[in-house]
């Protein structure tokens, strides 16, 4: 019986632990040839150790799958290029890119250091853009050479912290909101080349999240990465070609399509600052309230 991702070549960044590891394992189980990318850094992004990525590769190979380890820095322009080029050279192609790598440097706005802002934006936002750019450039060249759509995928990782807002995560939330916007725009740009772009907002119990707050055993079980990986496996497959520009909330008991910004209550334009106040107050009061971290209206 044919598997969902049979012979598809997939890069998974940040794949040595947590959600990324589960992605790599399930993709390989469904026939994908997986590039397990990970610096092996600590939760805050410090340090390097390729042994964690190699351990995932060894696990995949022991189960009869195909995988290689890669230690390139996805937030480095040349590193991201090298990762894509190495993948194509080794496996003869690339069909999907899963942008999953990330770090945390949580702190409130007034306490956040410039370096904490820069590091998180670098890894999450540039670390999504740089691999996506180089992968898209490869697919565009391939499509122009062959004249046929390449049926390729980019799967990004956003977060409820960016979509709904979470105190203490201005840097992380800003990056994840940016990734959501990048997903929608890139989906429109790359459609002509046969590339879909989607994102997920995962709820998972990993080393990135386990210290944020205490959870019940039931909550931890619902946040196991096994609930999230099937979405990525299907999105990486050839079967998902009609789905693009979408964000899915997955894990923690959720499986939902997220809906972006829409224009709310309206009023006639006003060109006088002294008269516009009551109009804005009325619009703000009639507009739907912002959502909490569970996607529900704030109290």
Burial level of 295, CB count in 10 A (0-12/13-18/19+)? middle
Q: Give pLDDT, residue 223.
A: 76
Residue 272: domain span? 265-298
CB atoms closer than 10 angstroms to residue 26? 21
Instruction: Specify whether 154 is located in the same domain as 294.
Output: no
- Spatial CA neighbour of 244 closest among 207, 195, 289, 284: 195
Residues 270 and 198 in one domain: no
Contact 247, 199 (CB under 8 A): yes
Do 183 and 287 belong to one domain?
A: no
**Residues 162 and 231 occupy one common structural domain:** yes
Lowest mean pLDDT among 147-151, 209-213, 246-250: 209-213
Query: For 35-67, what is each residue's pLDDT tens digit?
Result: 999 998 666 557 678 899 999 999 999 999 999
Q: Is 232 found in the same domain as 121?
A: yes
Collapsing DSSP states into helix, strand and coil, what is residue 77? helix
74 located within any domain = yes
The DSSP string of 128-157 is HHHHHHHHHHHHHHHHHHHSS---EEEEEE
Residues designated catalytic: 172
Count of structural domains within the chain: 2
| 107, 46 Cβ separation under 8 angstroms | no
User: Domain check: are 158 and 95 in the same one?
Assistant: yes
Exposed/middle/buried for 168, CB within 10 Å: 0-12, 13-18, 19+? Answer: middle
Examine the domain organization and report whether 278 and 132 are in the same domain.
no
* pLDDT above 70: residue 184: yes
Q: Are residues 133 and 227 in the same domain?
A: yes
Overall average pLDDT of the 222-230 stretch? 90
Query: Where is pLDDT greater, at 114 or 149?
Result: 114
| pLDDT tens profile 91-147 | 999 999 999 999 999 999 999 999 999 999 999 999 999 999 999 999 999 999 888
| Candidate from 11-20, 32-41, 167-176, 205-214 with smallest mean pLDDT | 205-214
Q: How far apart are the first and last CA of the chain?
A: 51
pLDDT at 231: 97
The pLDDT, as a whole number, for residue 214 is 67
Are the CB atoms for 198 and 248 separated by under 8 Å?
yes
CB–CB of 180/161 below 8 Å?
no
Mean pLDDT (the chain) is 92
Residue 222 pLDDT level (bands cut at 50, 70, 90): confident
Average pLDDT over residues 233-248: 98
Dihedrals φ, ψ of 265, to 5°?
A: -55, 145
């Amino acid at each position: 019986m044919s598997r969902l991702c049979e012979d598809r070549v997939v890069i998974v960044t940040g794949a040595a632990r947590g959600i990324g590891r589960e992605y790599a394992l399930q993709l390989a189980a469904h026939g994908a040839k997986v590039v397990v990318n990970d610096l092996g850094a600590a939760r805050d992004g410090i340090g390097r150790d390729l042994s964690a990525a190699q351990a995932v590769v060894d696990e995949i190979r022991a189960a009869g799958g195909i995988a290689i380890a890669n230690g390139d820095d996805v937030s480095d322009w040349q590193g991201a290029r090298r990762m894509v080029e190495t993948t194509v050279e080794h496996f003869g192609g690339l069909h999907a890119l899963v942008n999953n790598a990330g770090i945390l440097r949580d702190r409130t706005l007034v306490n956040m250091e410039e370096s904490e802002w820069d590091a998180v934006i670098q890894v999450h936002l540039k670390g999504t853009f740089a691999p996506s750019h180089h992968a898209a450039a490869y697919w565009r060249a391939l499509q122009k050479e062959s004249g046929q759509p390449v049926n390729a995928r980019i799967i990004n990782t956003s977060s409820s912290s960016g979509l709904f807002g979470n105190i203490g995560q201005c840097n992380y939330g800003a990056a994840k909101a940016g990734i959501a916007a990048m997903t929608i725009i890139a989906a429109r740009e790359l459609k002509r080349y046969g590339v879909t772009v989607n994102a997920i907002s995962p709820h998972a119990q990993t080393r990135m999240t386990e210290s944020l707050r205490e959870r019940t055993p039931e909550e931890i079980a619902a946040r196991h990465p096994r609930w999230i990986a099937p979405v990525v496996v299907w999105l990486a497959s050839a079967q998902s070609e009609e789905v693009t520009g979408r964000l899915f909330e997955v894990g923690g008991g959720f499986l939902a399509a997220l809906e972006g910004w829409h224009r709310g209550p309206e009023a006639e334009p006003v060109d006088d600052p002294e008269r516009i106040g009551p109009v804005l107050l009325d619009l703000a009061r009639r507009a739907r309230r912002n959502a909490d971290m569970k996607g529900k209206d704030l109290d």
